[in-house]
Chains A and B, each alone.
Chain A
């Protein structure tokens, strides 16, 4: 990176932190600190919801996934708009009118304290774990590219996030998210324009689409049903809807966003905004990856995108031969890509043969890389490599800054929601009841610092050796979301079910999910369906048995003589 890029990067990070501090001023009570005094407009909540999900690793990985696998991952989001409608119809009015700080507070009002404590505990474990991993993953990628220690990168992100979240609470982080998402859209737009502009003069945008299609990068919708296939239309619509229902309806890091709305309408509008924007946004990010793939059909890409590994490989004996073989395979693929682009413009010139030749050349290049590197995966470095090599000076610093802030946005949302659940559902409920508002405000700030420190410590030490697990964050989430969703379905849909039945149902649902995950090859998107169905079925069965028992006892009591002691 050039000096101008460093200046832009640090200016952006400082400006963002200052902006968060400025907009978050005046949070002087618990309601203002945790729910922004219910004052937020719909567009700020909507952008904040998007920012909380758009972590840096999603940003980096999604473009990499578009490069390697095309746009089919977008099917994962097809169920999201349906889930948003259900939440907007049912959950938003209930949460608003219940005047709760957390979704789990409602569970005690509806069921009992043990169900609330169990679900709060599940949330704290799951979200606490992912906050650490979410901070670690982008720090590793960014530090490799910038040449920094990943610990310093983690500490830098953590300190900036904690600074404005402790000071201004959810108001600060929501307004910071608004700024971040605006800049993310700008950086994405600049990236796609640069990728297309960098193509050779003879290759038009239409040619690029044909090449991406021939390479399988534009296989977006797969209508065939398959339990084991992770991404198809049906797993996206059904499994994705369940996952989104659980995530947006039961995960405090999301629920808290729309609880800050100044009215039910504002909260509903923020969810409808997310429902409309999310799929095109994800498709666009994946499409950038596909266009970077097309660009690298014509300009040589590095054999290894990960800079540290590339430097190590360059020192190993025999690497020159590997590079030479890779270069030859690249040139054959480039020539076949030119021929295919010409054939696509004039289909009479043997389009089918050209497609076959191009695919063979692409496969040969992939095999050459695999023969040299084995199963080595550096997908997460593809976009960063593109940014550093192709974006103009200044824009490089801004894009890297945007990736940093994406990590900050998701982490701030996570530590804020963890602090909220810790204070409202655990500390205030079990440790220090009936204290002053000032006391709980101080506790909220201290617990924000605690969860920030926990995330940084976990990222610095606990995540080491868990590199492969980073890509499994969504799978880990799915292990818990089915149980959470099930208990909320019971709360909203089955009025006769009581606390004990719901509690046993959640335990049974979690046991079922872990069993399915360990014993079958079912795609993780279906775990949410399985968990939710088991929670509801077991709770209904337990409630029925308890009802019969209560009925039997009542009947026995009713059959006694009126005065009992005869």
Chain B
């Protein structure tokens, strides 16, 4: 019977640091950038909603 493989056997996120993204230096910074972008996008769309909503 095959022994089940645990995720840790593959690799962790940190061990992929040898292939950094082409910008921002690390994947953590890229992810933070995407979260900041999402936040800014939602705020911008909310401002648009308020700006063009009429009572």
Contact = CB atoms under 8 A, between A and B. Distances in A.
A77 to B, nearest CB: 10
Contacts of B13: 89-90, 93
Interface in A69-114: 71, 74, 78, 81-82, 84-85, 88-90, 93-94, 97-98, 109-112
Given A88-B31, A220-B46, 11 more contacts: A81-B38, A90-B13, A93-B15, A94-B10, A110-B4, A209-B52, A220-B48, A263-B19, A264-B19, A269-B21, A276-B37
Nearest to B41: A279
Interface stretch (A131-139, A140-148, A492-500): A492-500
| Closest 8 A/B residue pairs (Cβ) | A213-B52, A109-B5, A221-B46, A218-B52, A97-B10, A265-B19, A220-B45, A355-B54
Interface of A: 71, 74, 78, 81-82, 84-85, 88-90, 93-94, 97-98, 109-112, 209-210, 212-214, 218-221, 223, 233, 263-265, 268-269, 272, 275-276, 279-280, 283, 351-352, 355, 491-492, 495, 498-499
A223 B35 CA distance: 18
A205 to B, nearest CB: 13
Contacts of A210: 52
Given A89-B27, A94-B10, A214 B46 contact: no
Nearest to B20: A265
Contacts of B31: 85, 88-89
Nearest to A263: B19
Given A94-B7, A221-B46, A495-B7, A212 B52 contact: yes
B49 A268 contact: no
Contacts of A97: 10-11
Interface residues of B, number: 34
A84 B20 CA distance: 17
Majority SS at the chain A contact face: helix
B7 A110 contact: yes
Contacts of B51: 213
24 contacts: A78-B42, A84-B34, A89-B27, A97-B10, A97-B11, A109-B4, A110-B5, A110-B7, A209-B52, A212-B52, A214-B52, A218-B48, A218-B49, A221-B46, A265-B19, A265-B20, A265-B21, A265-B22, A268-B27, A279-B41, A351-B54, A352-B55, A491-B7, A495-B6
B53 A213 contact: yes
Contacts of A109: 2, 4-5
A85 B37 CA distance: 13
A85 B35 contact: yes
Interface in B14-50: 15-16, 19-22, 27, 30-31, 34-35, 37-38, 41-42, 45-46, 48-49
A78 B25 CA distance: 26
Contacts of B22: 265, 269
A74 B45 contact: yes
B7, B12, B13: most-surrounded residue (chain A CB, <10 A) = B7
B8 to A, nearest CB: 7
A81 B35 CA distance: 7
A219 B38 contact: no
Contacts of A492: 7
B54 A214 contact: yes
A81 B8 contact: no
Nearest to A492: B7
Contacts of B5: 98, 109-110
Contacts of A81: 34-35, 37-38
Given A78-B38, A82-B38, A98-B10, A213 B54 contact: yes
A92 to B, nearest CB: 9
Select the residue from B15, B16, B35 with max chain A CB neighbours within 10 A. Answer: B16
